[in-house]
Copies of this chain bind each other. A is one copy, B any other.
Amino acid sequence: MDALLQNPAFRIYAICSVILGVKMLTSAVYTATRRQKTAGFINPEDVTAFASPGTTARVEEAPEVAHALRIQRNDGENIPLFFAIGLIYVLTGASAFGATVLCSLFTVARVAHTFAYTYRKQPARAICFATGLVCTLLMIFRIIINVL
């Protein structure tokens, strides 16, 4: 494990994962604030606990909450995949340069994706999504070369 900590590629991966983790938790809190703001509670027990008197539970998500949930869903399809692929990439001998470029670019792209989704910017959001996808594919390509 000391060897891992000495490995600059692993340190880059660790820092990027931590940034993405904070981003995911921030998105979860953002969804909760949208729910509170719109009183968009689906669970009756949430209405009782958190809503002002007279509020009733919704059957459908409020539009702002659904929008926040789509941000989280898109993260959920991409970031856990990075956690796994990025780690395998580092453990199969990524260079410090390669890990710095691919992990950092993925992280910047996903943080920018959240801003683009929140402020509803297209095609910026699509470009961010595609950038993250290309970074993941390049790491996958490198893993295949290293393992075979």
Contacts and interface: CB of A to CB of B under 8 A. Distances in A.
Given A21-B136, A45-B121, A133-B25, A1 B4 contact: yes
Interface string A71-101: 0100011101101110110011100000000
Contacts of A42: 66, 70
A148 B50 CA distance: 40
A49 B123 contact: yes
**Copies of this chain present:** 3
Contacts of A93: 1, 5
B133 A88 contact: no
Interface of A: 1, 3-5, 7, 10-11, 13-15, 17-18, 21-22, 24-25, 28, 42-46, 48-50, 66-67, 70, 72, 76-78, 80-81, 83-85, 87-88, 91-93, 120-123, 125-126, 133, 136-137, 140, 143-144, 146-148
